[in-house]
Amino acid sequence: MLIHGASGGVGHFATQLARWRGAHVIGTASSAKVESVWRFGAHEVIDHVNTRFEEALDPVDLVFDTVGGELLKRSPAVVRKGGRLVSVANEPPEISAEAKVSAVYFVVEPNRGQLVELARLVDRGEIRPAIDSVFPLPDARAAFARSISPGTRGKVVLRVGDE
């Protein structure tokens, strides 16, 4: 599978979870973040600044997109017949019926059971969260501003309580 934005807040979890479930993971990232995607366990990493991803891989079963825009528009071309394109960033482009590719814009809903399972995986060291910064709860406004600013590396954490 191909993961766009594999170093990002969503992408670095997707990369590790897909690897944990046994997928062959190809991640895209900008040059400065390529190294981090290797560390998250990708089998292949494409520097999307210097390489057109379409020219660097064979068709894949699944594209998971966290970037949207141009990368998403170009993605149906690399999904093999019967495959899927899932974006959490934007609505996917129209795809012709002959391509036999299903495409969805997925919006996550909080799910306690899944969060508990994720926490267990983190506790066991199976997946590693990348933490960009930690803010105390009263600084939630600053934390939000940080979370939507360019150049974050991983998750922005709100600390509740003193520990």
Ligand X SMILES: NC(=O)c1ccc[n+]([C@@H]2O[C@H](COP(=O)([O-])OP(=O)(O)OC[C@H]3O[C@@H](n4cnc5c(N)ncnc54)[C@H](OP(=O)(O)O)[C@@H]3O)[C@@H](O)[C@H]2O)c1
Candidate ranges 17-25, 64-72, 117-125, 135-143; the one touching ligand X (CB under 6 A): 64-72
Q: How many residues bind ligand X (CB under 6 A)?
A: 20
Rounded to an integer, what distance in angstroms lies between the CA atom of residue 162 and that of residue 86?
39
Among 67, 78, 127, 143, binds ligand X (CB under 6 A): 67
Rounded to an integer, what distance in angstroms lies between the CA atom of residue 67 and that of residue 56?
18
Q: How far is the CB of 19 from ligand X (least distance, A)?
A: 17
Residue 17 contacts ligand X per CB under 6 A = no
Rg (CA), the chain: 17
Residue 82 or 144 having the CB closest to ligand X: 144
Identify the three-state secondary structure at position 156: strand
Residue 11 contacts ligand X per CB under 6 A = yes
106: nearest Cα among 7, 23, 14, 12: 14
Among 1, 10, 42, 143, binds ligand X (CB under 6 A): 10
| Residue found under tokens 């973040």 | 33
Rounded to an integer, what distance in angstroms lies between the CA atom of residue 99 and that of residue 77?
9
Helices marked H in the chain: 11-20, 34-39, 69-73, 112-123, 140-147
Residues 98-137 that bind ligand X (CB under 6 A): 106-108
Residue 48 contacts ligand X per CB under 6 A = yes
Residue 50 contacts ligand X per CB under 6 A = no
Residues that bind ligand X (CB under 6 A): 5, 7-11, 29-30, 33, 48, 66-67, 69, 71, 88-89, 106-108, 152
